[in-house]
Amino acid sequence: MKREVKFSLVFRDMWQSAGKYQPRVDQLVKIAPAIIKMGCFDRVETNGGGFEQVNLLYGENPNKSVREWTKPFHEAGIQTHMLDRALNGLRMSPCPKDLRKLFYKVKKAQGTDITRIFCGLNDTRNVIPSIQYAKEAGMIAQASLCITYSPIHTVEYYVNLAKTFIDAGADEICLKDMAGIGRPVSLGQIVEGIKAYKKDIVIQYHSHAGPGFCMASILEVAKAGCDYIDTAMSPLSWGTGHADIIAVQEMLKDAGFQVKEINMEAYMEARTMIQEMYDDFLGYYIPALNHINNSLLVKPGLPGGMMGSLMTDLEDNLKSLNKWKVKNNQPELTTDQLLVKLFDEVAYVWPKVGYPCLVTPFSQYVKNLALMNVIQMEKGKARWSMIADNIWDMILGKSGQLPGPVAPELVEMAKEQGREFETNDPQSYYPDKLDDFRKEMQENGWELGQDDEELFELAMHPEQYRAYKSGKAKADFEKDLADRKAKKNAPKGDLPKSIKVSVNGATYEVNIAYGGEAPAPAAPAAGAAPVAAGEGTDLLAPLEGKFYLVKDNSETPKKVGDSVKAGDVLGYIEAMKTFNAIRADKDGVITAILFNSGDSVEEDDPIMKIA
């Protein structure tokens, strides 16, 4: 009898690998019947990773979305699975233990069957507790091998890692080839080694199409005994996404495997709906380059899931850098020039920081570090002159053990700054916090939610959840979408300078700027304290992003009248999913704070005054 290979549709990752946002819940519920009717999928990836954070960013309740989205697949007998960042849960930064335990209880109650647990460092100390917590909650624990290509990441390395996870109770193993740079023959050998250790262990293969290896890799792992293959569908297949189900199904059928047939009428129905979602608003956040395969990605090894947001972020970084270049009489860079410089710098930086697998959050950390190096060097400054605290945490071992050694120049820099390398269990640095968030919800009169899901959401994504509850998230998203639509659709002379946005029954006028323009001064957000005025020297934003006075509720925000010393952290700019500390450049007193927490700032904007 032919050996069966089954398929999963990675619907969440299709969108994340293409651009910045996910469909709304009404769109998800509408397309589910067509996906089911296609008849070829035994699994669908419904949530996880950045999914719920993205819902919050445009003002939608992610808990409602997950419950309604998973329901039709359960009724059809199709398993749902999600992406899970182990120590980090669903976010970029590490989670306390009590939040990690609540995570699995909430997701199981909401209808998610399988959790795909991964750590970009492949540190078993981060993954094994999540295996245990998931199983205790009744979920299927799928432990991931984060695949990359380096002198350290050998076939033997991965087979031994899989053995450790199986011995720790993992129900399944995933080969998470998040950048698509795993070499086909080596991937087949990894699958063979795992099956030799435990013949009946379920193995699922996940790859991205960008570098060009994925079809050969899929064939090799299938021949070696892989049970499930992740696929996508048009118009979000290929490029920075994944291989299309049609091509994969035909290839494996020709190779002699038993595979389910595709209902092409349903495929085209689902494809049409995806295009409608694209045209509605999601396409405004999908750069054209993300539709194209690019073997330049073999060298930096950046993951497909990050490339979606990278190309959108890069537009803003390039605009900001070119403004500086024009101001300083230097020639501007093109997107391609900046991209090549970034890819080269990633390849330089990666070995220096110990070969972390380039997957969230470490792909963002390495990419951000490389991009900051490029930008600083373009301005005549030194490499390594801007390293965010969470990147330092990775370098120092607070996120887990790096696979390789850290470069001597970074070790010396850490020593000069009084930073210490850590060897303890990463969880020990992040104490329980759920009681603090319960208290916050009670003080605000917020419901904990069914199965404590609202408590979970606040604790997992504090800043985004607060912005969601206040209405600021929706207002910011609608402003940004209106800006993008106006720039794309309106004649140059007719671009609007402001729009009106309704949030929770209140109407706000939001000013819009284009290109290098400066927007008209905006009114403070609803409920925000008025901005203070004062005398003194301007403290300038070192980069573009969102300004925050604190990065979590363990910090006390600075206020007007506070005395500060040179080097003190005064706030943060969140850019490209990392918090970059803003430090005082002299001793003095804060006489003005010129932005509210959560406001967008541009590079060189005065954000505080110090006298």
Segment 513-562, tens digit of pLDDT: 544 444 444 444 444 444 445 678 888 888 778 888 887 766 788 888 89
pLDDT at 327: 86
Q: Is 157 exposed, middle or buried (0-12, 13-18, 19+ CB in 10 A)?
A: middle
Tell me the C-alpha distance between 337 and 259, whole Å: 44
Q: Do 50 and 279 form a contact (C-beta atoms < 8 A)? A: no
pLDDT at 491: 61
Q: Do 361 and 355 form a contact (C-beta atoms < 8 A)? A: no
Q: What proportion of the chain, given as a percentage, has pLDDT over 90?
A: 59
**pLDDT tens string 265-286:** 999 999 999 999 999 999 888 8
Which three-class secondary structure state does DSSP give residue 433?
Answer: coil
Q: What is the DSSP letter of 581?
A: E
Q: Which residues contact 104 (CB under 8 A, 6 or more apart)?
A: 115, 130, 133, 134, 136, 137, 139
C-alpha torsion 403→408→413→414, nearest 10: 40
Q: Once rounded to an integer, what is the mean pLDDT over residues 122-129?
A: 97
- State the residue for tokens 């309740």: 61
pLDDT at 384: 94
Q: What is the DSSP letter of 333?
A: P
Q: What are phi and psi of 393, to 5 degrees?
A: -60, -40
pLDDT at 569: 87
pLDDT above 50 (res 324): yes
Domain residue spans in the chain? Answer: 1-432, 537-610
pLDDT above 50 (res 331): yes
Q: What is the DSSP letter of 42?
A: E
- State the residue for tokens 């049409």: 272
pLDDT above 60 (res 499): no
pLDDT at 386: 86
Distances (CA, A) of 242 to 66, 331, 464: 23, 37, 29
pLDDT band for 335, please (50, 70, 90 cuts): confident
CA 593 to chain centre: 30
Q: Is 30 exposed, middle or buried (0-12, 13-18, 19+ CB in 10 A)?
A: middle
Per DSSP, which regions of 531-587 are E strands? 537-540, 545-548, 563-564, 569-575, 578-583
Alpha-carbon dihedral sign for residues 254, 260, 261, 263: negative
Tell me the C-alpha distance between 176 and 112, whole Å: 19
- In this structure, the strands spanning 606-610 and 202-207 are unpaired
Tell me the C-alpha distance between 65 and 28, whole Å: 8
Tell me the C-alpha distance between 142 and 124, whole Å: 13
Tell me the C-alpha distance between 233 and 479, whole Å: 31
Q: Do 145 and 205 form a contact (C-beta atoms < 8 A)? A: no
C-alpha torsion 377→379→384→389, nearest 10: -140
Q: Do 367 and 311 form a contact (C-beta atoms < 8 A)? A: no
Distances (CA, A) of 458 to 49, 391, 435, 450: 16, 24, 12, 14
Q: Once rounded to an integer, what is the mean pLDDT over residues 387-405?
A: 91
pLDDT at 575: 74
pLDDT at 516: 42
pTM beyond 0.75: the answer is yes
**Same CATH topology for 1-432 and 537-610?**
no
Distances (CA, A) of 81 to 38, 284, 396: 18, 27, 32
Give the CATH number of domain 1-432: 3.20.20.70
Give the CATH number of domain 537-610: 2.40.50.100
pLDDT band for 159, please (50, 70, 90 cuts): very high
